[in-house]
Amino acid sequence: MSILIDENTRVVIQGLSGHQAQFDTKGSLAYGTEVVAGVVPGRRGQSVLGLPVYNTVAEAVTECGADASVIYVPAQGAKDAVLEAVYAGIKLVLIITEKIPFRDFSEAFYIAQSRGVRLIGPNSNGIISPAKSKMGILGNAPQYFMPGPVGILSRSGGMNHEIPNLLTRAGIGQSTCVSIGGDLMVGTTFREGLELFEQDPDTRAVVMYCEPGGRMEEEAANFIRSGGFSKPVVAFVAGMFMENMPQGMPFGHAGAIIEQDRGRPSAKKKILAEAGVRVAERMSDIPELLAPLVARDELK
């Protein structure tokens, strides 16, 4: 099984006319994803990559039966794009766009939440359930992923490729890999990702790629400690060097900010370890830490 997406997910691309959207969508189509339409206002009736283009998400849903959306719309229009998908009845919205104004995203998030819509991102690079479907995720990249029992949750889009690559090279497959997004506020947190993986019987362990800033790792650790997540977790916490930088200085993602001792990587490592998480000192340690947690014949 998998979480969020599978071979039955029908995807619409908002902003399909853009270069990045077309590059990713070519890969999704090659991977076998059911991409059914694109949305570009004013271009109804045209075709991009062989896909019909509509003016609105509502038209795409009505005519093509889409149930998930990927948003490549620039930051200033992203709030409207999210709400358009929400009001059209889409239940999963992946937001590739980064640095959406905080107020815009918070308003869109609470409306989406009130309607039972799952948001992933902003500043996500995508979701993949290997051998089933992918949304976002650069190009086709089949060599990085293989189906199996390990779920991935990553604040970094790049590491949403690299960690599966490490596991695949070690013969360890993945159930679903989710780039949750690197902005200050995201639609789905580590804890919520763990809740989804807890419900998936074929996910036997989870890897978390963590970064400085915010409280998501601490919330996940408390959730694990309380018994909310019953499966083994391996985590890598990046950015120890940031503890020597001036407080409040962002480095990399918008959410990677240490303020008044909050969000320090050392604190995240400590609370995760206290919750029973295996914390890797190097990314290359991740496959070795997973091996004793899940039987080798179950990792194929």
Torsion sign across C-alpha atoms 40, 44, 48, 52: positive
Do residue 177 and residue 272 come from a single domain?
yes
Q: What is the pTM of this model?
A: 0.92
Domain boundary among 98, 124, 150: 124
Do residue 118 and residue 173 come from a single domain?
no
Do residue 42 and residue 158 come from a single domain?
no
Cα distance between residue 234 and residue 123, in whole Å? 23
Do residue 159 and residue 299 come from a single domain?
yes
Do residue 203 and residue 231 come from a single domain?
yes
- Of 25, 16, 253, 3, which is closest to residue 127 (Cα–Cα)? 3
Let me know if residue 134 belongs to a domain: no
Q: What is the CATH number of the domain that holds 63?
A: 3.40.50.720
Let me know if residue 14 belongs to a domain: yes
Query: Which pLDDT belongs to residue 297?
Result: 45
pLDDT of residue 115 exceeding 90: yes
| Confidence band, pLDDT 50/70/90 cuts, at residue 251 | low
Domain boundary among 75, 90, 124: 124
Give the domain range for residue 19.
1-124
The strand pairing partners of 236, in sequence order, are 209, 280
Phi, psi at residue 3, to the nearest 5°? -115, 155
Do residue 116 and residue 155 come from a single domain?
no
Active site (catalytic) residues: 253
Do residue 78 and residue 150 come from a single domain?
no
Let me know if residue 132 belongs to a domain: no
For 150-188, the pLDDT digits (tens) are 999 999 999 999 999 999 999 999 999 999 998 989 999
Q: Which of 119-128, 192-201, 244-253, 291-300 has the lowest mean pLDDT?
A: 244-253
Do residue 291 and residue 158 come from a single domain?
yes
Let me know if residue 130 belongs to a domain: no
Query: Which pLDDT belongs to residue 184?
Result: 87
Let me know if residue 131 belongs to a domain: no
- What torsion do the CA atoms of 61, 200, 160, 210 make, to the nearest 10 degrees? 120
Do residue 152 and residue 276 come from a single domain?
yes
Let me know if residue 136 belongs to a domain: no
Torsion sign across C-alpha atoms 95, 2, 203, 297: negative
Do residue 112 and residue 223 come from a single domain?
no
Let me know if residue 135 belongs to a domain: no
Number of domains within the chain: 2
Do residue 36 and residue 69 come from a single domain?
yes
Domain boundary among 94, 124, 154: 124
Let me know if residue 129 belongs to a domain: no
Do residue 95 and residue 157 come from a single domain?
no
